[in-house]
Structure 1
Amino acid sequence: MHGVTHRRQAWYPVLDQLAEQREVILVDLPGHGQSAPLVTEGRPVQQVLREQFKQFLTDQQLDRPHVAGNSLGGLVALYAGAEGDARSVTALSPAGFWRNGHEFRYTKQIFQRAATMSERLGDRVELLARTRGGRKLMYGLLCAHPARVTPDQAVGDIRAFRYARPALRTLLDAAEPFDMEIPLDVPVTIAWAARDLVLPPWQAEAARQAFPFGEHITMRGVGHVPMTDAPEFVAKILLRGSEPAASVAPITAAPSTAPAVRRTARAATA
């Protein structure tokens, strides 16, 4: 599962390597990508996300799959682990580990400013996305290597961001720290980007304290959305996180920058 305002295509750089060893289902979260708008009808957002994820599992006929996510998707994966809906959880820079509203305000302002900018620029932002300098500006906070984002990917992301703006406002207003427990028999892997400018790396320590039994990995040389920055390394983390506990070996390799080729896998909306 992808992060807030993103879409399932965020995982394309690692899809080839994952699909060789796993059945992969890429998910558009509610209010994102091709999914229906996020509608809460006055209920807590966290409850709605958990309920819709459970319904998604039912619709897809999935029984406790291995669940992985980035940012907001990582938070949803943690919810799934806490509620018994995940066989394992792998979260890349997951949301929910700020300690108070003051610390979250920094992240909130990043997204609010991005939303304001996209509204002001209108269709011109797509022209910006087609230039190397424009992509560097757009992805500078998300990736360590924004030049690796293709023009088509950037245009698609911009359109996804526009569609997700209503969900973004709802999610930002309702954001709160993650405080649920995950059973010890559910393996938890939390990997944090060392160059994360959206959810700063110090939050990784809060995650360590919350899950001292989990595996914690520092992803060096990558940004908040690490799939484009280091696809081979991210794929290795995801594959390791979904392995049976007895067969897991330590990750010692540095992130690789080798490109990945897309393979066919299942895609779904929530």
Structure 2
Amino acid sequence: MSTIDYTRKGTGEPVVLIHGIGHRREAWGQVFDRLAASYDVIAIDLPGHGRSPAEPENKHQLEPTVDEIEELFVELGVDRPHVVGNSLGGLLALELGKRGSVRSVTALSPAAFWDVRGRVWAATSLTALKAMAMTPTPVLRLFSDKPLLRKATLWSLYTHPERLDGERALGDALSLRRRKAFFPILKQAPTVRWSGETVVPTTVAWAGQDRILLPYQAKIAQAALPKARHVVVPGVGHVPMEDDPDAIEQVIREQLAAVPAATTATLAS
């Protein structure tokens, strides 16, 4: 039985949203509600993130996590949903697409298209964020409440962190502080690199100002996934949903619209 916690809203074809390492389902911000106007949207907390309990360390590896997401599909009664993921969530979405257990994939700055330089940079940047999250809560609250201080600390995740709600920023920091899954996942980075091809319609959208998974990795992704649609979203950072929800909603909806709607018989199969 899956231990993944989630929020579900809307009706229509199912769309599953998967956040990145150290984050939580709230990362989707306005995009969640906007998609829920047209789809059955399920935003999950990955194991050991948000409100999902931590797993044994070996279960935070890639394959067991994908297995558990597929278990959740079965428990929720959704057959081959569309899936959208950011960063680590983008890699997980692509893995689901490689298995053929989803109808389409939209991957936003997905992990695992790095070279040695890219891996070291990403690991260093993410570790710095984790270290900042360990500072005393009153300090975190001060930096979360002030737009300029928020910009100084969250520049690696967003191009416009000052636009992020202060309470959301504090909640994200506290969530990152508590995430025991963070380092078990991060230490896998040297051994994880994408290989293979998805077997479903796929969009890879790279953040034009990504400061964690640097934009040159979009070219690596394009070479590794030649059958996918590749786009660059200008002016957004690594977690682009807050920087420009309009652009991210459009990218997702374009991919969803490109896949013929499932018939009732298909959804019931």
The TM-score range, normalised by the shorter chain, is 0.7 to 0.9
In the TM superposition, what is the alpha-carbon distance from 1:91 to its structure 2 partner? Answer: 0.4
Aligned equivalent of 1:9: 26
Separation of aligned partners in 1, 2:89 and 2:49: 11
SS of the aligned residue for 1:54 comes to helix
Aligned equivalent of 2:124: 109
Separation of aligned partners in 1, 2:115 and 2:147: 37
More displaced 10-residue stretch of structure 1: 115-124 or 1-10: 115-124
**What are the superposed Cα offsets for residues 195-219 of structure 1, whole Å, 9 maximum, x if unpaired?**
0000000100011011111111110
Asked if the contact 2:133/2:174 (under 8 Å) is kept, the reply is no
TM-score (normalised: structure 1): 0.85
In the TM superposition, what is the alpha-carbon distance from 1:139 to its structure 2 partner? Answer: 1.6
SS of the aligned residue for 1:242 comes to helix
In the TM superposition, what is the alpha-carbon distance from 1:146 to its structure 2 partner? Answer: 1.1
2:254 corresponds, among 240, 243, 261, to 240
Separation of aligned partners in 2, 1:124 and 1:44: 31
For the structure 1 residues 227 and 55, does the alpha-carbon distance in structure 2 shift closer, same or farther, using more than 3 Å as the test?
A: same
Asked if the contact 2:114/2:220 (under 8 Å) is kept, the reply is yes
Q: Do residues 51 (structure 1) and 104 (structure 2) align?
A: no
In the TM superposition, what is the alpha-carbon distance from 1:162 to its structure 2 partner? Answer: 1.2
Separation of aligned partners in 2, 1:61 and 1:180: 28
Separation of aligned partners in 2, 1:83 and 1:208: 19
2:88 corresponds, among 69, 72, 81, to 72
Asked if the contact 1:18/1:235 (under 8 Å) is kept, the reply is yes
Q: Do residues 31 (structure 1) and 48 (structure 2) align?
A: yes
Aligned equivalent of 1:140: 155
- Give me the identity figure in percent: 36
Superposition RMSD in Å: 1.7
Give the aligned length.
242
Separation of aligned partners in 2, 1:113 and 1:139: 11
**What are the superposed Cα offsets for residues 111-144 of structure 1, whole Å, 9 maximum, x if unpaired?**
1122223224455222321122221122211111
Larger relative contact order (C-alpha < 8 A, sep ≥ 6)?
1
TM-score (normalised: structure 2): 0.85
Aligned equivalent of 2:8: none
In the TM superposition, what is the alpha-carbon distance from 1:30 to its structure 2 partner? Answer: 0.8
Q: Do residues 196 (structure 1) and 210 (structure 2) align?
A: yes
Uncovered stretches (5+) of structure 2, i.e. residues with no partner: 1-17, 262-269
More displaced 10-residue stretch of structure 1: 89-98 or 108-117: 108-117
More displaced 10-residue stretch of structure 1: 102-111 or 193-202: 102-111
